[in-house]
Amino acid sequence: MFLVRAFIAAATVSFAAAADVPTPPRTNQTNLPPPGPELFNASTRVAISAPIDTVWAAVLDFPSYPSWNPFVRSAVLTDDAFIPLPASEQTVAENIRAVFQVQIPPLPLPVSASTPSDPLHAQISFENITHLEPDLYRVAWKQIALPDAVLSAERWSAVSVIAVGPDANKTLYESREAYSGALAPELQVLYEQGLQEAFDAQAVALKGLLEGQ
C-alpha cells in the first residue's frame, strides 16, 4: 500500500509504545502465494473463530472498513480516473481502482465510523485490484501511483481453514505486503514499525469484529 505522503518530514513520525498484536495462530500452514523479491514486508496472521466465508466476506466488504478497521479507515472502489463508483458497484473485482485512506501507525482500538483520524499519521494510497481468487480465498492490490522501479508495494490477503492442531477448524487470516524499489529503503526507515503495527492491529480488530469481542 503506497503512502502518497510517506516521505514528508520524518519528524512527524512517532509510534506508540504498546500496540495491538494478535496471538500467533498455532499452525504453520499458509494460503498466501510465495513472496517475490522484496526489501522488507509487513505481515500478520491470526486464527478466527468464524466460518471461512464470513471472514472472506469481511475482508472484501470495503464499505464496512470505517466501522472496525484501525488501519484502513476508508476503502473506496473507483473508475480509472479515481472517481468513486456508486454504492451499488462497491464490489471488489480484478482491475478496478481503489483509494485507501490509512493510518500509520494505526488508531487505538476500538474504532468506529465516527472515530476521528489522526491527521499527522493519515496517508492516501492509489491502488489497483490485481488479483481476486475466490476459489482460493485470496485477494491482492498494488500501488499504482509510482512505477515499480521507484516503489513496488503489493498486498495479499488470504483466508483458509486450519487443518490440524489446537486451532483446527478455525479460520486463518493472513495478510502480507512486500516492498521494493528505489524508495523502499527510505520507506523502511520511516514506516516499517508503523506498518507492522497497522497490519497487526487490523488482524486484532477483524478477529474482534467476527468473534463479537
Q: Where are the domains of the chain?
A: 23-28+39-211
Residues of the chain with pLDDT under 70: 1-19
CATH 3.40.50.11240 for domain 23-28+39-211, yes or no, is no
Please state, in angstroms and rounded to a whole number, the distance separating the CA atoms of residues 109 and 197.
12
Reply yes or no: is the peptide bond before residue 105 cis, omega within 30 of 0.
yes
**For residue 20, what pLDDT is reported?**
86
Predicted pLDDT at 175: 98
Phi, psi dihedrals of residue 128, rounded to the nearest 5°? -130, 135
